[in-house]
Amino acid sequence: MRLPIYMDYQATTPVDPRVVESMLPFFTENFGNPASRQHRFGWVTEEAVESARALIARSLGAEPREIIFTSGATESNNLALKGTGEALRQKGNHIVTVQTEHRSVLDPVRKLEKLGFQVTFLEVDEQGILDPDRLRAALTPKTILVSVMFANNEIGTIQDIRSIGTICRENGILFHTDATQAAGKLPIDVQESKVDLLSCSAHKIYGPKGIGALYVRSSNPRVKLAPQMDGGGHERGIRSGTLNVAGIVGFAKAMELSIHSMNEESKRLTVLRDKMLNAVRAQLDDICLNGHPTSRLPNNLNISFLGVEDNALMMSMKDVAVSTGSACSTADPEPSHVLKALRLRPERLHSAIRFSIGRFTTGEEVDYVVARVVESVNTLRKLMPPSRSSRTRVRDEATIGRGI
């Protein structure tokens, strides 16, 4: 076992060596521009891109022509939200999303608000689940789009995407889901779930950074998007720009590997995750699991260690890479907006740590991290003992947490 230990797989993942191997020829030998259709160099890369497009489409239950390559999930989310808003402005100006969405969804819809759109930010329950009835009640004749994350990047909670898609389809409203944390980890079928737009990214599934995709339904209903990047008409005119061929090839290989090992890997990660949670619970009092206990990603643990500041705990474990929330919000000193949306008490908000394990995590590493966590929490609690009234609130919260 080598230090430091990486347990921040939901922020990004190391590129699988098999993915790197698949990409290498497209940096030196097969370097052509796939839009250069006048010679063999372009033909080779165009074939590679279309092969990758077909593979990614199959993994989502989509058609190849419905996959638009982007620079990542942030661009995919922006294109889905802003592109839909602009294209359907004459039909309506109401968008519905959820308070626990990623910033790459929340920030674009707030930008649309400034442009005159009406946005409803739905609440979730204390475990991060959106009540479908709450969604149904929020819809109006002017609603054109609903955006709900498939699986949360901080607390791991998985939404009932099929029910949400059914509600949207019944009301003639487009449904977008940010599936960045779900693609390659959970079974996805855009047809069964009635998803119209879906965002995903390679670097969450052991692929390269800088490449992602947006699924755009081509029929029943056909989704029209206003391009947000002009200049050449690439990707069916929806997203101009020279394609990142090596990245696209790596994305497809990463997706292929993830789909092939999904069931086995999910079971393995669930065992490690539960082993970690149970070991921490056995050795520490006053901890709370944040998120849904069972409807959650197999590699996610978000735990509040009551009576301990989150940043202090991270700093005391410099040989373990964990986080307090999304990697896209690390400069924000405020508590996680996701945890705040769960309406947790301050003790839980300021003591939450996200552990996310992955393909290269071992049982030995889990044992080491548990020991470091227990040691650090006990040390910090001795240095910063809470008041008696605070301790009472802490124990109340812990009791609730153990029931989650």
pLDDT in tens, 19-32: 999 999 999 999 99
Residue 358's H or E segment, with its range, is none
CATH of the domain at 192: 3.40.640.10
Residue 73's H or E segment, with its range, is helix 73-87
Residue 403 pLDDT > 50, yes or no? no
pLDDT in tens, 206-263: 999 999 999 999 999 999 999 998 888 899 889 999 999 999 999 999 999 999 999 9
Report the number of distinct structural domains present in the chain.
Answer: 2
Phi/psi for 285 (5° steps) reads -90, 170
Phi/psi for 11 (5° steps) reads -80, -50
Give the pLDDT of residue 34.
95
Same domain, 302 and 392: yes
Residue 141 pLDDT > 60, yes or no? yes
Give the pLDDT of residue 237.
86
The answer to whether 347 and 307 are in contact (CB under 8 A) is yes
Same domain, 230 and 272: no
More confident residue, 281 or 401: 281
Phi/psi for 138 (5° steps) reads -85, -15
- pLDDT over 70 for what percent of the chain? 93
Same domain, 217 and 277: no
Q: How many CA atoms lie within 13 A of 397 on its CB side?
A: 26
Q: What is the DSSP code string of 281-307?
A: HHH-SSEEE-S-SSSB-TTEEEEEETT
Same domain, 70 and 108: yes
Residue 22's H or E segment, with its range, is helix 17-23
Q: Locate the DSSP E strands across 106-221.
A: 118-122, 143-147, 174-178, 197-201, 212-216
Same domain, 218 and 334: no
Residues 81, 183, 196, 301, CA torsion sign = negative
Give the pLDDT of residue 400.
38
Query: Residues with catalytic annotation?
Result: 328
Give the pLDDT of residue 292.
98
Same domain, 73 and 148: yes
> Could you give the angle at the alpha carbon of 153 between the alpha carbons of 286 and 252, nearest 5°?
145
Same domain, 224 and 269: no
Give the pLDDT of residue 334.
76
Nearest to 184 by CA among 271, 283, 250, 109: 250
CATH of the domain at 338: 3.90.1150.10
Calculate the average pLDDT of the chain.
93
Give the pLDDT of residue 167.
98
Q: How confident is the model at residue 33 (pLDDT cuts 50, 70, 90)?
A: very high
Q: How confident is the model at residue 336 (pLDDT cuts 50, 70, 90)?
A: very high
pLDDT in tens, 340-371: 999 999 999 999 999 999 999 999 999 999 99
* Residue 157 CB contacts under 8 Å (≥ 6 apart), including other chains: 100, 124, 127, 128, 129, 151, 291, 292, 295, 296
Residues 52, 55, 56, 61, CA torsion sign = positive
Q: How confident is the model at residue 335 (pLDDT cuts 50, 70, 90)?
A: confident
pLDDT in tens, 6-20: 999 999 999 999 999
Q: Residues 175-197: what's their mean pLDDT?
A: 98
Same domain, 241 and 273: no
Chosen domain end from 257, 289, 308? 257
Same domain, 198 and 289: no
Q: What is this structure's pTM?
A: 0.93
pLDDT in tens, 276-312: 999 999 999 999 999 999 999 999 999 999 999 999 9
Chosen domain end from 200, 232, 257? 257
Q: Residues 163-170: what's their mean pLDDT?
A: 98
Same domain, 235 and 268: no
Give the pLDDT of residue 391.
43
Same domain, 222 and 270: no
Chosen domain end from 257, 282, 300? 257
The answer to whether 148 and 181 are in contact (CB under 8 A) is no
Domain span holding position 285: 5-10+262-402
Same domain, 250 and 386: no
pLDDT in tens, 109-136: 999 999 999 999 999 999 999 999 999 9
